[in-house]
Amino acid sequence: ITELIITICLIIIVFKNLHYLPSLKILFIAILATIPMFLFLFYFKNLHILILILLSILIYGLLIYLLGGISKKQLKLLFSKS
């Protein structure tokens, strides 16, 4: 419940200062990408922790990209050397 209160307070602060509300579409995509990652972690919890972390990053990142949560342009900016 503490995390929920912090999230609500953060949304209020961001809106008051920036006059911006986070997109619910992006939130939905993030939740949708989290479900398969959770299922992978749940069923393969006996694997080594480093393997779990790396495969979880791969699953989540791939799903965020495929669901349109991040674009090719954003990925290029993220991995550029500037």
pLDDT tens-digit readout, 50-75: 999 999 999 999 999 999 988 889 88
**Which band of pLDDT confidence, cut at 50, 70 and 90, is reported for residue 82?**
low
In this predicted structure, the answer to whether residue 40 has a pLDDT above a threshold of 90 is: yes
Q: Is residue 28 a contact partner of residue 67, using CB atoms and an 8 Å limit? A: no
Q: Which two tokens stand for residue 39?
A: 């299922």
Mean pLDDT, the chain, rounded, equals 90
Kindly provide the b/e burial profile for residues 16-54, where b requires at least 16 CB atoms within 10 angstroms of the residue's own CB: eeeeeeeeeeeeebeeebeeebeebeeeeeeeeeeeeee
Task: Answer whether 0.75 is exceeded by the pTM.
Answer: no
Q: Is residue 21 a contact partner of residue 27, using CB atoms and an 8 Å limit? A: no
